[in-house]
Amino acid sequence: MNPLRKDYETLQLGRHDSHVLLVTLNRPEASNAMNTQMGRDLMELFEEFQIQFHDLRCIVVTGAGEKAFCAGGDLKERRGMTDEAWQAQHAIFERMVRAIMACPLPVIAAVNGAAYGGGCELAAATDFIYASESARFALTEVTLGIMPGAGGTQNLPRAVGMRRAKEIILTGEPFTAAQAEDWGLVNQVVPLDALLKTTLATARRIAENAPISVRQAKQSMHRGLQMSLWDALAFEIEAYNRMVPTEDRREGINAFNEKRKAVFRGR
């Protein structure tokens, strides 16, 4: 297996307990705003997990520094762009967010500060979000003459409901981490100095579970919610049956009966 590339221009990668990857958006001088290169870097990284997992079982995404998770699209880079250049750049962002949403591994956002525009969309594209008490969210695109185009109009209503999402997107008004938790966008709000510790602890807990089981359960929820109930139940059983012939299934049952901690190997 080839090693996972680590020399991304706009990302900092670090492993935790071998099975957890911490991805840090690393443009603090620009509030981690998403330029074309960051879009390419995230797209390449997450598309890689469609091919191989590199022995990873969970991914955490956060921002460098204490002020911003991601301030959205880099408007300084976008100033003066032709229509064609704008659309070409946005195609990269579209492919990037689809790669994150399609990632077979669980992805958790640790939102450490402002998550505005595309930054909010990036967080909403992950499986769930932990946020610092100082985090702020907004989809401000309508104040700039555009609209959310990286999953915001789809992922936000699925998280907070249609009526709340309309209020957020059509006003462009920022909202707090506490509001985001109350509305269902954020799972947990913690002090900033505890954010990574708390998020990585959850990631490690996920990584301790049977990796095939985790991936299949994620897939079943993702796909099933797009189907009718009866089609989704059939899909669930297909996903479930993938575990029956695995070594991990036998290990899990044996460990339970032997009163010991299971050691899952992903096969």
Q: Catalytic one among 29, 77, 121, 251?
A: 121
Cβ–Cβ < 8 Å for 73, 36: no
Name which residue leads in pLDDT, 95 or 78: 95
- Percent of the chain scoring above 90 in pLDDT: 82
DSSP3 helix / strand / coil % (the chain, rounded to 5) = 50, 15, 35
Q: What is the pLDDT, as a whole number, of residue 262?
A: 87
The Cα–Cα gap between 194 and 130 comes to 11
pLDDT tens-digit map of 18-27: 899 999 999 9
Phi, psi for residue 187 in degrees, rounded to 5: -80, -35
**Residue 194, both tokens:** 């505890």
> Smallest Cα–Cα separation from 145: which of 164, 172, 124?
172
Q: Is 29 a catalytic residue?
A: no
Q: Catalytic one among 48, 84, 94, 141?
A: 141
pLDDT tens-digit map of 169-215: 999 999 999 999 999 999 999 999 999 999 999 999 999 999 999 99
- The widest CA-to-CA distance across the chain, in whole angstroms, is 66
Q: What is the pLDDT, as a whole number, of residue 80?
A: 84
Q: What angle do CA 46, 48, 50 make, to 5 degrees?
A: 85
* Confidence band of 112 (pLDDT split at 50, 70, 90): very high
Q: What is the pLDDT, as a whole number, of residue 176?
A: 97
Name which residue leads in pLDDT, 75 or 14: 14
Predicted confidence (pLDDT) at residue 6 exceeds the cutoff of 60? yes
Query: Mind listing the domains of the chain with CATH numbers?
Result: 11-208 (3.90.226.10), 211-257 (1.10.12.10)
Alpha helices in the chain (DSSP H): 36-48, 75-78, 83-101, 118-125, 152-160, 162-171, 177-183, 192-208, 211-224, 229-241, 247-257
**Residue 266, both tokens:** 């992903």
Q: Is 258 a catalytic residue?
A: no
Predicted confidence (pLDDT) at residue 139 exceeds the cutoff of 60? yes
Q: What is the pTM of this model?
A: 0.93
Predicted confidence (pLDDT) at residue 76 exceeds the cutoff of 90? no
Q: What is the pLDDT, as a whole number, of residue 69?
A: 97
Q: What is the pLDDT, as a whole number, of residue 1?
A: 57
- Percent of the chain scoring above 70 in pLDDT: 99
> Smallest Cα–Cα separation from 195: which of 85, 80, 94, 63?
63
